[in-house]
Amino acid sequence: MSLRLDQKPVVATVYVAAMFMAVMDTTIVNVALPTIGSDLHARAGSVGLVSIAYLVSLAVFIPASGWLGDLIGGKRALLGAIGLFTLASALCGISTGLDELVAFRVLQGVGGAVMTPVGLAMLFRVHPPAERVRISGVLALVTALAPALGPILGGVFTTYASWRLAFFVNVPIGAATLAYGVAALAGHVPARPGRLDVKGLLLSGLGLGSVMYGICEGPSRGWTAAPVLAAAGAGAALLAALVLVESRAAHPLVDLRLFGNRMFACATGLYGLGSVAYLGALFLASLFFQDALGLSAVRAGLTVFPSALGVMAGGQLVTRVLYRRFGPRRIAAAGLLVMAGTLASMTGVGTGAATGSGTVPVLLAMLGLGLGVSFVFIPSQAASMATVSKERTGRASSLFNAGKQLGGAVGVALLSSVLAATGPARGGSAGRAAADLGAYHAAFLVAAAVSLLALPVALAVRDADAAATMAPRQAPRPARQSG
């Protein structure tokens, strides 16, 4: 029987659907927050917990995902997480108060934290290195499409129906994915990971969660606010302790020794820094188009959307033409330069971009941003596990996803802080409008600078380490095994 061969599209389908839900949930709710606060009679300062709770929960539980997948098997861990995420989404949609909603967002985060790293590990186990660039192109598309689509759907739901649909939209997707996975996924044998590293679990979960909380709250409360300093300081201390404890553990939950693997360390750093620039820029652009240019939430989302089209076009170029010819090093470096150039070009966008032909440069900049990020994300994801053994893939996937999630949160916090520090100015409406534009222009420059700061990481990649992913795809197995 060819069941094992059929697992490639099956695992890819289940994982891509799960990843789409998890990534979209980081942006779809943001547009709806004011309406949620009004409907649930929440204080303006507390409604942000709806987003923060999800991000912090992701950070807390991602480190344990690799161990859990190895303990009970990938199929059980992945489908259990999808079921939990779907149930939590439905509960969010029927919440009657802010406390309920925040609690269910934490539950959503638990599901999202497990399903993305476990699914990625399963995907890389069934796809040999030579096929990973092609599948990474699909994953990069989802990574770009989901956050770009989130604000559009959130704006449409909130404007024309109900904010609750921002959560209910996950229910049919999750239910269909779960049913398909139960029927089609083959059982994945547990890898006997050994006893749970409780110290590593506590230190990593509390450390990452505290840092994420501080990063999320810093822009709104101020970086010198006592809760922010306490959370960030405690998180940094816990993560420092984690390094000491896990470096001495025989079977660490967070296998920091993986960062001794040059290819994995560079790929994780590239994806993390790329996420800082790209996801931070998507957040910034959505605000810029609404606050500075006066566009509606729906139109702002549609203006950002060409970034996803750029990822589609770039994905085809990278996977079909460039990757095997040039390798990850040069492609990622070129992508960072394109990202930096398009982000810097946004500093020339003024209020005239809101109407007529003035929108064309903005749409082209968003398209170019997507093209550049595809050149960074696809090679780094394809090559990330090239020199990692199958036995360590689960825990490597947890670290890779933690870097990606942290990068996105840092990007939003960094650019929000730049906005807060550089504007708006006091004075009349004309002065305020000019200051708003200046603040956004400064933030886009910072995002461009982050892209350039990632260049040394890209140039540190050795294409020879990724040679297995650059090899031509093998001929179909039956032709080779029939003799």
Asked whether 362 and 353 are in contact (CB, 8 A), the reply is yes
Instruction: Please give the C-alpha separations between residue 258 and each of 98, 138, 393, in angstroms, as whole numbers.
Output: 40, 25, 10
How high is the mean pLDDT of the chain?
84
107 vs 300, more confident: 107
User: pTM score > 0.85 for this model?
Assistant: no
The C-alpha atoms of residue 188 and residue 70 are separated, in whole angstroms, by 9
273 vs 480, higher pLDDT: 273
**Interatomic CA distance for residues 400 and 263, integer angstroms:** 12
Residue-wise pLDDT tens digits, 7-53:
888 998 999 999 899 888 877 887 787 788 889 888 756 787 888 88
Find, among 265, 385, 383, 389, the residue nearest to 327 by Cα: 383
Q: Quick check: 86 pLDDT over 90?
A: yes
Position 266 scores a pLDDT of 95
What is the pLDDT averaged over residues 436-464? Answer: 93
- Cα–Cα dist 104/96, whole Å: 11
Using alpha carbons only, what angle is made at residue 433 by residues 427 and 437, rounded to the nearest 5 degrees? Answer: 130
Q: Name the range with the highest mean pLDDT among 252-261, 404-413, 449-458.
A: 449-458
Q: Pick from 105, 103, 102, 107: which is nearest to 43 by CA?
A: 102
pLDDT top residue among 142 and 100: 100
Mean pLDDT value across residues 315-321: 89
Residue 460: alpha-carbon gap to chain centroid? 23
pLDDT of 444: 95
Cα angle vertex 376, ends 389, 120, to 5°? 40
What is the helix (H) or strand (E) element at residue 12, kind and residue range?
A: helix 3-24
Residue 292 in contact with residue 354, Cβ under 8 Å? no
Taken in order 153, 156, 162, 163, the sign of the CA dihedral is positive
CATH of 257-469, one of 3.50.50.60, 3.40.50.2300, 3.30.420.40, 1.20.1250.20: 1.20.1250.20
On the question of pLDDT at 478 being above 70, the answer is no
* Rounded (10°) CA dihedral 434, 440, 445, 446: 130
Q: What is the pLDDT of residues 138-177, one digit of tens each?
A: 887 787 778 778 878 888 888 888 999 999 999 999 999 9
The H or E element spanning position 369 is: helix 359-384
Q: Please report the pLDDT score of residue 44 as a whole number.
A: 59
CB atoms within 10 A of CB 287: 17
Cis peptide before 424 (omega within 30 of 0): yes
pLDDT of residue 432: 45
pLDDT band at 409 (very low <50, low <70, confident <90, very high): confident
Q: Does residue 482 surpass a pLDDT of 80?
A: no
Positive or negative: CA dihedral 472, 477, 479, 483: positive
Domain layout of the chain by residue ranges: 257-469
Q: What is the DSSP string of 169-187?
A: THHHHHHHHHHHHHHHPPP
State the average pLDDT over residues 329-348: 95
Inform me whether the pLDDT recorded for 249 exceeds 50: yes
Residues above pLDDT 90, as percent of the chain: 35
Confidence of residue 322 (pLDDT cuts 50, 70, 90): very high
Distances (CA, A) of 362 to 213, 240, 345, 356, 371: 33, 42, 9, 12, 14
**Dihedral, 305, 28, 283, 333 alpha carbons, nearest 10:** -60
pLDDT value for 318: 92
Of 75-89, 283-297, 312-326, 450-464, the poorest mean pLDDT is in 283-297
Residue 85's pLDDT is: 96
Structure confidence at residue 192 (pLDDT): 65
Residues 26, 133, 263, 335: what is their CA dihedral angle, to the nearest 10 degrees?
A: -70
Q: According to the model, what pLDDT value does residue 54 have?
A: 87
Q: Tokens for 365?
A: 């900049």
Q: Where residue 356 falls among pLDDT bands split at 50, 70, 90?
A: low
Helix ranges restricted to H, 185-305: 198-221, 226-248, 262-287, 297-304
Higher pLDDT, 346 or 390: 346
Residue appearing with tokens 């079921």: 83
Per DSSP, 250 falls in state S
pLDDT score of 465: 92
- What confidence score (pLDDT) does residue 4 get? 52
pLDDT tens per residue, range 366-396: 999 999 999 999 999 889 988 988 778 888 8
What pLDDT, on a 0 to 100 scale, did the predictor assign at position 483? 30
Q: Poorest-confidence range of 111-115, 160-164, 212-216, 454-458?
A: 212-216
pLDDT band at 231 (very low <50, low <70, confident <90, very high): very high
pLDDT tens-digit readout, 164-211: 999 999 999 999 999 999 999 987 665 666 677 888 888 988 998 898
Is a pLDDT exceeding 60 seen at residue 5?
no
